Structure 1
Amino acid sequence: MTKKNFEEKNDSKSTVSKVVKGTSPSKIRGKFFKIKVYIGIAISLLVVAILASLLLFSPNAKKESNEAISSVAKKENTSKEAIDTSKASENEKKKEEEIQKLKEQLTSLDSKVSESEKLVDKLKEETAVPKLDIEALRNNDLSSLKGTWRTPSGKEFVINESSELYATGYRDGQKYESTYEITFSKGQGRRNSDTASFGLNPKGIPVGGGYMIAVPRGIVLESAGQYTDQSNTAEDRLVAGQSYPSMLTEPENVYYRVKPDTSKLEEEEKNLAQLQAEREAIKTSLESKEKKNNN
């Protein structure tokens, strides 16, 4: 193959020319049409992309986007505020209910405490043990003698407001009962200046009787010869008999005041103390909650 023949055979122009020469006009037009379509589509996509980019990064787009975000945030905040307000309202209502409940409890306790205090005062009055008032006794006021007096041997004196003494005891195994009228005796009071002496006159009987000495606690009766006071000087006492020495020889026949049963009073005092403690606790809690609620 000569050089000329080789160049002619491999020359591109010669090849294209041959292809063109070997291809029909209709096919050539079809190929160019497709190329134009592809180019048009590519240009359209590029334009859309450019416009989208411009819209996305334009001030108006950003503003609208920010407004949308702000609107969503505002709605969320409004919703949160509504929830918070609802919770606050619920908590406030709950606090008010608690305060109202405490007020009702306090009112109830005030009433109970008042009733208990009245009962305690009444029981104290009923169980009060008067102290012998020597000056009053010497002025014929026998109120401090009122009550029941009993000896260790079982004898009793019951003294009423009418200055009567109702005596019971046993003699030779037999129970006896007597009623005496109490009269103040000045002469017998000279022996013991801190005591008061009385005559005991049997009612309905013209003869008999004796006398009685009221001895306040802490006072020791004066000795009579070899006889000394052997009674319980820590208590108020009554001694009675026919003679002063005989009163000192029989300590088992000394009368001591019978103290009333105070168990009910003690029980009610404990109940009152408990009610007062509960009231104080409720009152403190109420004041604390009202203070917090006002702040």
Structure 2
Amino acid sequence: MVVATLASLFLFSPNAKKESNEAISSVAKKENTSQEATDASKASEIKKKKEEEIQKLKEQLASLDSKVAESEKLVDKLKEETAVPKLDIEALRNNDLSSLKGTWRTASGKEFVINDSINESSEIYAIGYRDGQKVESTYELKVPKGQERPKSDTASFGIWPKGLMAGGAVLYAIPRGIVKSAGQYTDQSNTAEDRLVAGQSPSMFTEPENFYYRVKPDTSKLEEEEKNLAQLQAEREAIKTSLESKEKKNNN
């Protein structure tokens, strides 16, 4: 009876209750600490993953910036190479022949080839056909004294077979939009294009096959690269938008 009473007193004494509560509290603290550590670890992993994603996007953006810059340079280069110059009548009348450069061709395939050295050499390389045979020749171009006449819509030159004084003709450079006429003879060419025509009689204007039109360069490579550039720019914009969104969320 005495032992039971002592045990009862011990179990329900204030010290026993305190020790029991402390034990429970200690277990709870350990559990909370463990949960906090787990939560912190998960948060750290999530943060690390987000930072890795952001870093990856930054690297992709830097790579695309470089590719876009390279593509833009190539497009500019190809545009320059395939640019079709317009006849500059004022410059031609002042003996600057650079706007004549290029290949000019008639409907029947005859050609005038005028290279980059036209201002130094004043030579025109010509390809024609006689009796079905290809004939190649070189002409010298000379600016007539009357070239300085004001307010002319066209430019004219004398051309002779190189090394010869006979067999000359007049070469007219006619810009797009201009209709050339001489008395009763009216221009029958495609006036929407720059063109050249050479001959010894005004009747040459009435024969469409006499007119040489500038041969347009092949722009397929330029068009392909422009499409590639547009795709790269779209990809870069998508990556940039995604990066900005993730950085904004990561900072909140």
The aligned counterpart of 2:247 is 290
Aligned-pair Cα RMSD in Å: 2.1
Runs of 4+ aligned residues of structure 1 deviating over 6 Å after TM superposition are 188-192
Q: Please give the per-residue CA displacement for 1:135-187, whole angstroms capped at 9, x wherever unaligned.
A: 10101001110000001111100012233111111123222222111122354
Return 214-223 or 254-263, whichever deviates more: 214-223
Match for 2:100: what amino acid? L
TM-score if structure 1 supplies the norm length? 0.78
- Pick closer, same or farther for the CA change 1:186–1:58 going to 2, 3 Å: farther
Match for 1:258: what amino acid? V
Q: 2:198 aligns with which of 240, 250, 259?
A: 240
Contact 1:192 1:221 in 2 (8 A): no
Q: Write out aligned runs for 1:54-203 (5 A).
A: 54-160=9-115, 161-162=117-118, 163-187=122-146, 193-203=152-162
Number of residue equivalences: 248
The aligned counterpart of 1:221 is 180
Does 1 or 2 have the higher relative contact order (CA < 8 Å, sep 6+)? Answer: 2
* Structure 2: gaps (5+ residues): none
CA distance, structure 2, for counterparts of residue 59 and residue 185 of structure 1 = 127
Q: Aligned with 1:276: secondary structure?
A: helix
CA distance, structure 2, for counterparts of residue 233 and residue 172 of structure 1 = 30
Structure 1 vs Structure 2: percent identity of aligned residues?
83
CA distance, structure 2, for counterparts of residue 182 and residue 51 of structure 1 = 134
Contact 2:93 2:147 in 1 (8 A): no
TM-score if structure 2 supplies the norm length? 0.90
CA distance, structure 1, for counterparts of residue 97 and residue 49 of structure 2 = 64
* Structure 1: gaps (5+ residues): 1-42
Bigger helix fraction: 1
Q: CA deviation at 1:270?
A: 0.7
The aligned counterpart of 1:281 is 238
Q: CA deviation at 1:189?
A: 8.2
Q: 1:230 aligns with which of 164, 167, 188?
A: 188
CA distance, structure 2, for counterparts of residue 249 and residue 222 of structure 1 = 9
Contact 2:128 2:134 in 1 (8 A): yes
Q: Please give the per-residue CA displacement for 1:112-138, whole angstroms capped at 9, x wherever unaligned.
A: 112211211111111110011111010
Q: CA deviation at 1:190?
A: 6.3
Residue 270 (1) aligns with residue 233 (2): no
